Structures are given as C-alpha cells and as structure tokens.
Amino acid sequence: MPEYAVSVKHVSKKFKLYHEKRDTIFEAATSFFQKKLHSEILQALDDISFDVKRGEIFGIVGPNGGGKSTLLRIISKIYAPDSGSVDVKGTIIPILALGLGFHPELTAITNIYQSSILLGFPKHEISKRVDDIIKFAELEKFADTKVKNFSNGMQMRLAFATSVLVDPDILIVDEVLAVGDIRFQKKCAETILSFKKRGKAVIFVSHGMDVIQEFADRAMFLNNGKAEKIGSPADAIAAYGDFCRARDKLDDSSNK
Amino acid sequence: MTTIREEMWKFKGILFNFAISDLKIRYRNSILGIFWSLIEPLLILGVLFVVFSTMFKFEIPNFPIYLLVGIVCYNFFKNGTTFALNSLTNRSALMTQIYFPRAIPPISSGITAALILILEIVVLAFFIVIFQFAPPITILLLPLVLGLLFVLVIGISLPLSVLNVKYKDTEFLWQVIVSAGFFLTPIFYQFDMMPAQVQNVLQFSPMVQIVTMAHHVVLYGTLPTINSILFAVGSISVITTVGYLIFRKYQAKVVEEMW
C-alpha cells in the first residue's frame, strides 16, 4: 500500500479563451474564418506537484480564477491534463458544485443511484445505504420528489450525504458546503473529521480561512495556476494574505 | 482502444439506466407518453400510403407492409442518431462533475431508440395480421439485419455526439442528411425504379442495403443478396471505424467545451 492517496506530479493545463468582441459587421462576418486571431492562451495550471497522504485533510486557498476548480477537476479525471500525471489510490468522489450532476427531472432516490453507479459503486451496495443517505440529508419527506423542486441547500445536502455514505477513499469538496445551514455545516465538519480518523484523504477548497486553519493538516496557496506555497495551513493563509494586501495596495495606488 | 472497451464493460449497468431514464424524460408532461413513438410512424405510414397508392399508383405487392418495414428501419436510424446528437450536452451537468466514459450517453441513446424500435415492431406485427399477410420463414433473420443497423447507429452516434458539442452545425447538417436520406432510401419505392447511374452511387448507402435486406427477409422470403451483404457490411465497417477514430480524438477534451 503506497503512503499517498493522491499524487499530483507536474500537472499543467492550458485553456484557449475566445474573445467574442466584434467591432464591425465585416469583422463579425469574417470572424468565422479568423477565429484564431480572437483567442489567447490561459495557463490555468503551471507545473503543480503535491501528495496527499491517507488520513490527511488538504486545504486549497486562492483567489477566484486561480486554478482551484481546474485542479480539482483534473484530480477527478473530468479534465485531462496537458502534461504531468495524477495518481489516485482508491475510489474518489468529487463534490464540485451544487449536486453531484443531479438530473432535475429525476427524483432524489433515482439521482442517488445514478450518480453513485457512475462513480463506480455497485448497485447492491447503494441499495443498502439509500435510506441512511436520505436520513443524513434530512430529506425523508422528499425522497420521491424531483430534484428540480429542491432548494440549493437541499441539493447540497443530498450530494454531501450521498458522497459520504457511499464511503469513498478520497473525498474532494469544492467551496460548496457554505450553502447548508449551521446545523448541517457542523454535521459536515464532523463527517470530514471521521473520514480523516478512518485513514481517508480529503481535499477541500474554501474561502473561509478559519475553516482551513481549523481542519486542514496542510494547505496550498494557488494563484495564477502556480502553487505559490505548500505547507502548514498558517503558512498558506499567510501567503494568501500577503498577496491580497499587495493587490489591494496596487488597486489603491492605481485609483489615485 | 482496449481501455475504452474495458471501461464500457465496467459501466454496462448504467447504459440501460440511462436509456430508460431518457425515455421517461422524453415523454414527461405528455398525455399519450410513449405511445407517441407508435403514433408518429403510423401517421407517416398513413400519409405515404394515401399518396403513393392512390395518386402515384406504385404497383408494389403488399405495399402497406413494404412501407412499414422501411419506415420502422429508417425510424430506428433517425431516432438513434438524433437522440445521440444532444446526448452529451443534455448531460453536461453530470459530465462536468463526475467522470464516466464519454461513450455511455451516445450508446445509451442507441438503446433508447432500440426500445422504441421494439414497440414499432409490435405495430408491424399487428399490420401483418390485419392485412392477412403470411410472413415467410426468412422473417426470423430480421433481428440480424436490425443488429447490423444497430452497429451503424452506434458508429454514427459516437462521432456525432462529440462533434455536436464543439460544432453546433453538426446538428443542423445531420438533420438535413436524415431528411434527404428518407427520400434516397427505397422506403416508398423500389430501388430498381431508380436510374442505373443513381443506383450505382446509392448502393454505397448502408441504409439502402439494410432496408433492401429487410424487404427481402420480411416480404419476399429470400435471403439478402451477397451483393447487399457485402455493400452493407463494407460501408458500415468503414463508417464505424472512422466514427470511432473521430470519437477517440475528441472525447478527452469534450467536457472542456461544456459550460
């Protein structure tokens, strides 16, 4: 058994950005043939390397557009990296946005099955746990309701409950738990800590520095696609704080 | 190549799950529900039957059955490929959040079309009884012909699904091809009514060969000609291979085009 649960090695990713701005009708008409002129390359991730051990909670902080979501998507195999590699030991569940890709026209129960089968969990295992999932999500009255009628908080609860109860080896959480109420947030925190105790790995993104400080064992500050700092949560938060102050200063001086 | 196939095997359970939920979603909020897939071919059959048996007076024996066999085959082709066109974009919420093989949505839309095909075959059987047509023993070969058609549908669905994410033109272009194809396939006429030069070109169309083969086994009680089989298997192999290569080229990055 290798020591790490997730190993990210020299991962880089570029995106092509297309600019849709057209000034003249002629430009709009010819833009079809000149698409290349209207695009630029965005280096979303630049040579990122880190390991997450089993039993470790790894936090990621950084400004919007810094590459956090792209990195989580690459670890979850949704995007393919341009170069570098990601090695994941065990089953992995990413909670990247509201829901686990829930289909609005399907019921809560059907969605639990669909998402967890897609994540690679056998159907009979899910059948055993489906009642617990509904109970954990506190959605007993809505088990057979279509997800389109759910509030954001309810969708999030269902996604989180599904993710933790199918019990993956690695859990990936993007800044999403903020939509739950305080009681549910507390429940999430307890669950994440119990994951850690049972030797599972958790990677999470948060803009709440106190959350990172409290839960993460190590953290990374990601900015402009670069890992500016990997170390203790305090170090990463400090690096992020320095960056924010420098940026504010720049804004102030340019405003004057 | 092996990795995609191995992955598909692992996820085979989800294929039917998707196919059935697609069917449910397709007919939600409709009173007649899945019966629409029966009514639609019946209406086309009615119109074609009236037009070509009274106005043009085509003298094809057992014309209603002849028509229905062609319509059932062509509908399967049309449904399978057009469901596949938006199969990936319809699931963009899922695809941007969970990794699973990209081939699952287009293949499961082929299965959705196959479920509808089964219903339409029930209608065909019903008409065979009504018109007191005694089908020949070769009708037992129809599943083989439809199996070949299924391969064609998947071979076209795979590239259409990925291309349509990046180039929305695919959908418009494909709809034109499907509409034109209906008239270029011997559904309401016989292939040898066409001028010889046209026949020389159209014989490469897999749908021409498949519909002809279906007519042979259901109506005439003859085996498909060697020529038909060679042209059908040949064109379908080429299309499916090229389709698979296109799919393989685009599939890794297809999610990045979705937002």
Is the pLDDT at B238 greater than 90, yes or no?
yes
CA-atom Rg of chain A in angstroms = 21
pLDDT, mean of residues A219-240? 90
B49 contact partners, CB below 8 Å, separation of at least 6? B63, B64, B67
Strand ranges, E, within A206-247: 218-223, 226-231
Q: Phi, psi at residue B91, to the nearest 5°?
A: -110, 25
In the predicted model, is pLDDT for residue B257 greater than 50? yes
| Partner residue facing B255 (CB), from A79, A105, A123 | A79
* Three-state secondary-structure class, residue A56: coil
The pLDDT confidence band at residue B36, using thresholds 50, 70 and 90, is confident
| B195 exposure class (CB count in 10 Å sphere: 0-12, 13-18, 19+) | exposed
Asked if A43 and A12 touch (Cβ cutoff 8 Å), the reply is yes
Q: How confident is the model at residue A29 (pLDDT cuts 50, 70, 90)?
A: low
pTM: 0.85
Q: Are A86 and A8 in contact (CB under 8 A)?
A: yes
* Chain B positions touching chain A (beta carbons under 8 Å): 10-11, 13-14, 17, 21, 24-25, 28, 91, 93-100, 252-253, 255-256
Tokens found for residue A140: 């007993």
Do A227 and A220 form a contact (C-beta atoms < 8 A)? yes
Query: Torsions phi, psi of A227, nearest 5?
Result: -80, 95
Record: contact A115-B98, CB cut-off 8 A = yes
Residue A234 pLDDT greater than 50, yes or no: yes
Strand partners, A220: A60, A230
pLDDT at A1 exceeding the cut of 60: no
CB contact under 8 A, B97 and A80: no
Q: How many CB pairs under 8 A join A and B?
A: 63
Q: In this complex, do B25 and A100 lie within 8 Å of one another by their Cβ atoms? A: no
Nearest CB neighbour to B255, from listed A78, A113, A119:
A78
Strand order through the sheet with A39-53: A39-53, A4-18, A83-88
The confidence band for B20, taking pLDDT boundaries of 50, 70 and 90, is confident
Average pLDDT in the B217-234 region? 92
- Per-residue pLDDT for B99 more than 50? yes
pLDDT at B83: 95
Reported as a single tens digit per residue, the pLDDT across B101-145 is: 899 999 999 999 999 999 889 888 988 998 888 889 999 999 999
> Can you tell me the mean pLDDT for B232-238?
96
**What's residue B1's pLDDT?**
44
Q: Which tens digits make up the pLDDT trace of A157-173?
A: 899 899 888 888 999 98
Q: Per CB distance under 8 Å, which residues of A are interface residues toward B? A: 15, 73, 76-80, 94, 96-97, 99-103, 105-106, 110, 113-115, 117-120, 123
* Pairwise CA distance, residues A136 & A184, whole Å: 9
Domains and CATH numbers, chain A: 51-255 (3.40.50.300)
As a whole number, the mean pLDDT across chain B is: 89
Percent of chain A with pLDDT over 70: 89
- Does the structure's ipTM exceed the value 0.85? no
User: B253: which chain A residues are within 8 Å (Cβ-Cβ)?
Assistant: 80
Q: Which residues span the domain enclosing B117?
A: 2-257
Alpha-carbon distance of A82 to B171, in angstroms, equals 29
CA B160/CA B242 separation, integer angstroms: 12
Identify from A82, A118, A162 which residue to disrupt to test chain B contact, counting B C-beta atoms within 10 A and taking the largest count: A118
Nearest-Cα distance to chain B for A163, in Å, is 12
Cβ A101 vs Cβ B94: under 8 Å: yes
Residue B230 to residues B203, B227, B234: CA-CA distances in angstroms?
A: 11, 5, 6
Mean pLDDT of A174-191: 79
d(CA B235, CA B231): 6
B5 versus B101: the higher-pLDDT residue is: B101
State yes or no: pLDDT of A244 exceeds 70: yes
Contact A77 B99 (CB under 8 A): yes
Residue labelled with tokens 């695009």: A39
pLDDT for A21 equals 58
- When pLDDT is cut at 50, 70 and 90, the band that residue A34 belongs to is low
Token pair listed for A216: 């993460």
Average pLDDT over residues B67-95: 92
Confidence of residue A23 (pLDDT cuts 50, 70, 90): low
Report yes or no: A12 and A81 within 8 Å, Cβ to Cβ.
Answer: yes
How many domains does chain B divide into? 1
**Residue A189's pLDDT band (boundaries 50, 70, 90)?**
confident
**What is the bridge-based pairing of β-strands A83-88 and A226-231?**
unpaired
| pLDDT averaged over every residue in chain A | 85
Cα–Cα separations (whole angstroms), residue A222 to A11, A240, A246, B158: 13, 8, 16, 37
Q: What is the pLDDT of residues A38-94, one digit of tens each?
A: 677 888 899 999 999 999 999 999 888 888 889 999 999 889 899 999 999 888 888
Bridge-based pairing of strands A57-61 and A201-205 is parallel
Cα of B194 to nearest chain A Cα, Å: 40
